[in-house]
Chain A
Amino acid sequence: MTIKIALTKGRVEEQVLPLLEASGIDCSGVRNKGRRLIFNEDPNFQIILVKGPDVLTYLNNSSVHIGIVGSDILAEQNNPQYAMLDMGVGKCRFVLASTRDFNPQQVRRKIIATKYPSITKRYFQSIGEDVEIIKIEGSVELAPLIGLADAIVDITETGTTLKENDLHVYAELQPVSTKLVVNRLAVKQYRPEIKTFISNLQEAQKTLGV
């Protein structure tokens, strides 16, 4: 029985591979991937490499059984599947940031630029504020500097990019980390395999100290 895993390529992939290897999965193909996107080196697991937001598309269509993806994407896309395990890697946080002269208490309808409109909307709803949201695809830090928005909601790991652009953190939103997500029906269909996989991963987390 082959379990199909959609793994977010890039940074998540780099951080998760040691855990998958320590849990006993042959990831040699992913390590030396060249231009390949599908990896069958381990007879029990098929790994595919996809972009973060596509992990849920594959999972929701039952094309894969398991996804490994950041909780930022899960929150933004209202994930309906089971986020069963925190992988303990890829930890960062959502922040509200802006230039030094930004006043969060100012009475006006603020303009917020972000790659994550749903998370931004939920945050401002939770503090009882209504804001204008502008969706930006990248380099969100530019928006308050160029005058497109009053502030931004973005992910930061160390805060370096914010500091380099002279942006200040005004509020901490939710923390972010990489999650193991399982399709709701697959967990029933492949219960023994998925249970063993998760407990192997938990052991691997202890061994590697994550």
Chain B
Amino acid sequence: MKNRNLPSGTRDEFGVRAEMKENITAKLFDLFKQRGFSKLTTPILEYADVFKPLNLTNYRPYQLLDEQGEALVLRPDLTLPVARVMSTTGVELPAKWYYSGDVFRVKKQLSGSYNQLTQAGIELVGYASLKGEWECLKIALEGVRAAGIDDWTLELSDARFVNDVLAALPIPEPTKNALKQALFAKDLSRYKQLCKPLADTAFEPFLNEWPWLFGDFDKVIQVVDTLPEITALVPVITNLKQTAGFIRTQTPEQAVFLDLSIPSPQSYYTGMAFQGYTQNSSDYLFSGGRYDELLTSFQQVKEPAVGLAFDTDALVDRMPEPASTEQSLIYFEADQWQLAETTLNKTPNSTFCLADSLEEAKRIAISTNRKLIDLTEGR
């Protein structure tokens, strides 16, 4: 019998944590709605094929079969189902969606990881302008603020940067691929070896710093400026600079970092990407970016798309716990219900004590550490 155990990788949520999660989800929903996004809910069960474009690195999906023997999965991602809806329902573009729900990712057993994660996010489909990225970033800034988290880092990157630089390097294609792999794995020993043929070229100062090309926005740009001119990079860097400027006007105190040494989060990313983290977090607070290739696994025509997903669990982990307030317990006789109702409404953090006797009510008040309001007094 397993009726008293949880399957590995799952957890119950109750009490303060469950309330904090509900609160932040409600605040995010308010934010999305206030900015004119519409709700989109997709099922937890989907055909496995929907998630083919996902690069599953450290997990696999929970899988089962339908009556016809087709592979179904518990959704491991929330963005691809939105793309499926977009390309199959004839929704007019541009469209602005918001969603929230759980994703399921089976990770290594007995490793302390959870397999059910809550996300809340937005998708903007049909806007090619940089304003799309900025709208997502504005929501990221507001969302993290709503969670009461200050002192966090916003990191920008761009899916095009690494490929554009590699394309300009005077080395054979297989070496470029090997260099890219070593760069992405931050395998410094191998990277250094592969860079040897480029010593004494104009690229050398940049290449020496490339695996460490992340951190303060302006410092990273200074290193990029040592590169010989690469025409394809001009719009990429201009967009990044304008975006950093935008964030600084919106929230001058916000730390803006740039990472130009990482792969894009998924293969369908085509432009800018952004993530947020705190000094102590073990997961990103949110992640998003431009993915104009998103719809191409469902249809022939490309549509510009940009989106953002908050990791609700990561937000809750970093949120300050609400200060404990005095809780009250209202004890009354059945015929005093109306009076009790009035008391409940005017007393913050109060709840009915539904016990049969005052004695029992007193016992509950002591054991739950609540102040007892006795409406039967003097009866």
Contact = CB atoms under 8 A, between A and B. Distances in A.
A80 interface: yes
A188 B281 contact: no
Interface stretch (A81-89, A104-112, A114-122): A81-89
A187 to B, nearest CB: 7
Overall SS of chain A's interface: mixed
B58 to A, nearest CB: 5
B277 A189 contact: yes
A51 interface: no
A83 B257 CA distance: 23
Interface in A157-193: 182, 185, 187-189, 191
Interface string B145-187: 0000000010100000000000000000000000000000111
B111 A57 contact: yes
A60 interface: yes
A57 B279 CA distance: 20
B284 to A, nearest CB: 8
B134 to A, nearest CB: 23
Interface string B114-157: 00000000000000000000000000000000000000010100
B113 A60 contact: yes
B214 interface: yes
A85 B279 contact: no
A188 B259 contact: yes
A85 B113 contact: no
A84 B277 contact: no
Contact of B186 (A60, A78, A182): A182
A82 B112 contact: no
Nearest to A83: B187
A37 interface: no
Given A60-B111, A185-B281, A84 B186 contact: yes
Given A60-B113, A195-B212, A85 B189 contact: yes
B277 A80 contact: no
A32 interface: no
A188 B212 contact: no
Interface of A: 57, 60-62, 78, 80, 82-86, 182, 185, 187-189, 191, 195, 198
8 contacts: A61-B282, A82-B185, A83-B187, A182-B186, A188-B155, A188-B215, A188-B257, A195-B212
